[in-house]
Amino acid sequence: MRALTPWLRKDVGALDSFRKEMDDWTRRFFGEPFFEVTTPQKWAPSVDVEETDKELIVKADLPGVDAKDVEISVTDGALVLRGAKKEEREENNKNFRRVERFEGEFYRELPMPSGVDADKISATCAKGVVTITVPKKPTAVAKKITVKPQ
């Protein structure tokens, strides 16, 4: 059975390789299962990082994730994004009814450069994109020096 969500990583946990081997062995012996039991998936959202003279701007793509389900923290010099996505789609037609559910956790850790002001980090969420603004401390802002001819 092909995954309908290619952005999910299958092998995340410590026992996943063992589970995969057992699934393969079971399929060879019994054939394709009527239904499959899946474990919650983990995935890492895509991020864009932009640096200006005064701040870092991190944009994380989190479609379908509520702002209340996103946790942002700074730990050991790294910006950590974590949370959960819960989604249910239902399609009713004349001849069938289909309900698909997805539930999974996400985690992304980005190292932060020295000189950022962790106390003034702010975040907003709009249209499935979380924008995190990380201001630099005034001492960390680069000073431009002009070179004068002699």
Q: What is the phi/psi pair of residue 12, to 5°? A: -115, -50
Per-residue pLDDT band at 138 (split at 50, 70, 90): confident
Taking residue 72's Cβ as centre, other Cβ atoms within 10 Å add up to: 16
Per-residue pLDDT band at 88 (split at 50, 70, 90): confident
Confidence (pLDDT) at 4: 45
Rounded-to-integer distance, Cα 59 and Cα 29, Å: 47
* Three-state helix/strand/coil letters over the chain: CCCCCCCCECCCCCCHHHHHHHHHHHHHHHCCCCCCCCCCEEECCCEEEEECCCEEEEEEECCCCCHHHEEEEEECCEEEEEEEEEEEEEEECCCCEEEEEEEEEEEEEEECCCCECHHHCEEEEECCEEEEEEEECHHHCCCCCCCCCC
Parallel, antiparallel, or unpaired: how do β-strands 129-135 and 78-92 relate?
unpaired
Per-residue pLDDT band at 96 (split at 50, 70, 90): confident
49: β partners:
58
What does pTM read for this prediction?
0.61
Q: Which fold has domain 41-137?
A: Immunoglobulin-like (2.60.40)
Amino acid letter at 34?
F
Averaged pLDDT, 101-124: 87
Domain assignments of the chain as residue spans, ordered by start? 10-39, 41-137
Confidence (pLDDT) at 3: 45
Least confident span in 33-42, 59-68, 122-131: 33-42
